[in-house]
A = this chain, B = another copy of it.
Amino acid sequence: MSESVQLIPGNSLITATPQEGRELAIKMARLTIRVTQPDDEIRGKLRGIYAEDAAMLIAVGQTVATEFATIAAANNYWR
């Protein structure tokens, strides 16, 4: 792993809207996987696996929920 790869698009947790915060959460979750498995072909193959596996899709949802909790707090919940 090269630590210089982008892990947080825009290098900020601040977003204009909850929707954008949610998109950031999804991207951050994906970038962790990319940095752990940098091979595009392998990741593509694994994506085909988890996208058709109910338990793994639920686990993806759990991770996104956790990332989003941080982003939402950073943005004072866009109140």
Contact = CB atoms under 8 A, between A and B. Distances in A.
Contact of A32 (B1, B65, B74): B65
Contacts of A32: 26, 60-61, 64-65
Interface in A27-60: 28-29, 32-33, 35-37, 42, 46-47, 49-60
A32 B30 CA distance: 13
Chain A contact residues (Cβ within 8 angstroms of B): what range?
35 or more
Contacts of A55: 50, 53, 55-56, 59
12 contacts: A12-B78, A13-B18, A13-B72, A13-B77, A37-B57, A50-B55, A53-B55, A55-B55, A65-B70, A66-B66, A72-B74, A73-B77
